[in-house]
Amino acid sequence: MLAPTGNRRSAVLYLLAWLLLGVALGGAIAAAFDARWVNAMIFAIPATVLYGVGAGFSAYYLCRAYPLAERSLAGVVTALGASAVVSALLWSALLEGWNTLGSALNVAWAGIDYTPSLKAVLFGLGVLLYGLLAAINYLATESERASSALQRELQSRLAAREAELRMLRTQIDPHFLFNSLNSISALTSQNPKGAREMTLQLASFFRLSLGVAEHAVIPLAQEMQLIRHFLAVEKVRFGDRLQLEEAIEPEAESCAVPPMLIQPLVENAVKHGIAGLPEGGKIRVAARRAGSQLRIVVDNAMDADGPAPRREGNGIGLANVRQRLAGSYGSEAAVHWGARDGVFVVEMTLPAQTGEESRK
């Protein structure tokens, strides 16, 4: 809100505005009431600046005491009108006293002919100036209130978005753990050594994933380390039937991605693609930076004669990735998928950013 003292710069500008107003008032008095310029300036400037300070504080606290959203219009108008009249009367008395003091000095440059018509004009001007100060304060108050409301709404939306992203991320680890424990259970009776190795690989994977759990984004290179650990777990079960091909361009490795973003896609590729092929197949992860965009492609072999993979997998995979991208980047990111000649392809585009500060 507008007040004579908010900070030093504002106070100086406020006083300068009233000083200029005092000069303008002195010039008007000299021109309209046939007063000497020096006398008119000495009469108008000091009292005008002092009125600006007093009326400024009065209007400021009046607006705080009578907010438009909480008081009736009649109450606000009554309080404002009474304060404006009292302030104008005090200003008139100040001007008259100042002029009397100047006239008493009996010098050529002090004192003017303070006629009743001039008193009436200055009284009316005092009322108008006070009303203008109050109007400016009310406008500033409403602007500040609207800005605060908008900020609270944005903070609420941000908190809701962050909560949704945390929920989506926490879905991933239990989902993967559930599938891995099922695999270990199946291997226990058939291949105890493989079950033990898979358990150790699973522990290594989760140990690494704990290091990135608290980060909003991680470098793509670190995400690929998670992918390799994940596939090391699955390779115990699939052996040579499961192959990984990486095509990550150096410029893309440092780009930031949400952690565990690609892992659900690779997991889907294993579960819905490689697992259904007796001879197994290859999973390919490619990434390249194209200007301001990072493009990531995950594809895998699939049974061309079998049923098409469901769009949501089992409720996590692709839908999770889409929601996380939308929550993190909005319309700047997109994900598309589909089957092409016996290969299931998932393509993602997102902003090519580096460093965790890019998400702050």
> Domain of 291: which CATH number?
3.30.565.10
Asked if residue 355 and residue 210 are part of one domain, the reply reads yes
Residues in the chain: 360
How far from each other are the two terminal CA atoms of the chain, in whole angstroms?
30
Q: SS3 for 333?
A: coil
**Could you say which of 121, 136, 152 is where a domain stops?**
152
Residue 99 lies in a domain: yes
Task: Give the chain's largest Cα–Cα span.
Answer: 118
| pLDDT band at 332; cut points 50, 70, 90 | very high
Residue 167 lies in a domain: no
Asked if residue 204 and residue 93 are part of one domain, the reply reads no
Residue 199 lies in a domain: yes
55-92 pLDDT per residue, tens: 988 888 888 888 887 888 888 889 989 999 999 999 89
Distances (CA, A) of 325 to 140, 227, 350: 39, 18, 8
Confidence (pTM): 0.54
Helix segments in 191-274, DSSP class H: 192-210, 220-238, 250-253, 263-272
Q: SS3 for 2?
A: coil
- Average model confidence (pLDDT) for the chain? 83
Q: SS3 for 180?
A: helix
Adjacent-strand bridge partners of 245:
284
Angle between helices 73-104 and 116-190 (to 10 degrees): 130
Asked if residue 348 and residue 257 are part of one domain, the reply reads yes
At residue 315, the pLDDT reads 44
Asked if residue 348 and residue 301 are part of one domain, the reply reads yes
At residue 309, the pLDDT reads 52
Asked if residue 331 and residue 237 are part of one domain, the reply reads yes
Decide if pLDDT at 270 tops 60.
yes
Residue 238 lies in a domain: yes
Asked if residue 197 and residue 298 are part of one domain, the reply reads yes
Long-range contacts of 276-283 (CB under 8 A, 24+ apart): 276/302, 276/303, 276/306, 277/241, 277/301, 277/302, 277/303, 279/241, 280/238, 280/240, 280/241, 280/242, 280/243, 281/241, 281/242, 281/243, 282/243, 282/244, 282/245, 283/231, 283/242, 283/243, 283/244, 283/245
| pLDDT band at 253; cut points 50, 70, 90 | very high
At residue 360, the pLDDT reads 45
203-218 pLDDT per residue, tens: 877 777 776 666 778 8
Which is it for the CA torsion 284, 290, 295, 296, positive or negative?
A: positive
How many whole angstroms separate alpha carbon 300 and alpha carbon 276? 11
Nearest to 283 by CA among 267, 260, 261: 267
Asked if residue 260 and residue 139 are part of one domain, the reply reads no
At which residue do the structure tokens 């009776």 appear? 189
Asked if residue 197 and residue 102 are part of one domain, the reply reads no
| Percentage of residues in the chain having pLDDT higher than 70 | 86
How many whole angstroms separate alpha carbon 265 and alpha carbon 17? 65
Residue 261 lies in a domain: yes
Helix or strand holding residue 183 (H, E)? helix 116-190
Residue 105 lies in a domain: yes
Asked if residue 330 and residue 198 are part of one domain, the reply reads yes
**Could you say which of 152, 182, 212 is where a domain stops?**
152
Lookup: tokens for 42:
């000495």
Residue 168 lies in a domain: no
Q: Judge whether 161 and 327 are in contact, CB under 8 Å.
A: yes
Lookup: tokens for 327:
């929550």
Asked if residue 334 and residue 235 are part of one domain, the reply reads yes
Q: Label each residue of 67-131 as H, E or C.
A: CCCCCCHHHHHHHHHHHHHHHHHHHHHHHHHHHHHHHHCCCCCCCCCCCHHHHHHHHHHHHHHHH
Asked if residue 312 and residue 212 are part of one domain, the reply reads yes
**Could you say which of 152, 175, 210 is where a domain stops?**
152
Asked if residue 285 and residue 226 are part of one domain, the reply reads yes
Query: Any idea what DSSP says for residue 354?
Result: B
Least confident of 31-35, 210-214, 224-228: 210-214
DSSP characters for 15-42? HHHHHHHHHHHHHHHHHHTT--HHHHHH
Number of domains in the chain: 2
170-209 pLDDT per residue, tens: 555 566 677 778 878 877 888 888 788 888 878 877 777 7
Cβ count near 16 (within 10 Å) = 11
Q: Judge whether 84 and 134 are in contact, CB under 8 Å.
A: yes
For 2, list phi and psi in degrees, rounded to 5: -85, 125
Distances (CA, A) of 268 to 17, 116, 229, 309: 69, 92, 16, 9
- The boundaries of the domain holding residue 330 are 191-359
Residue 98 lies in a domain: yes
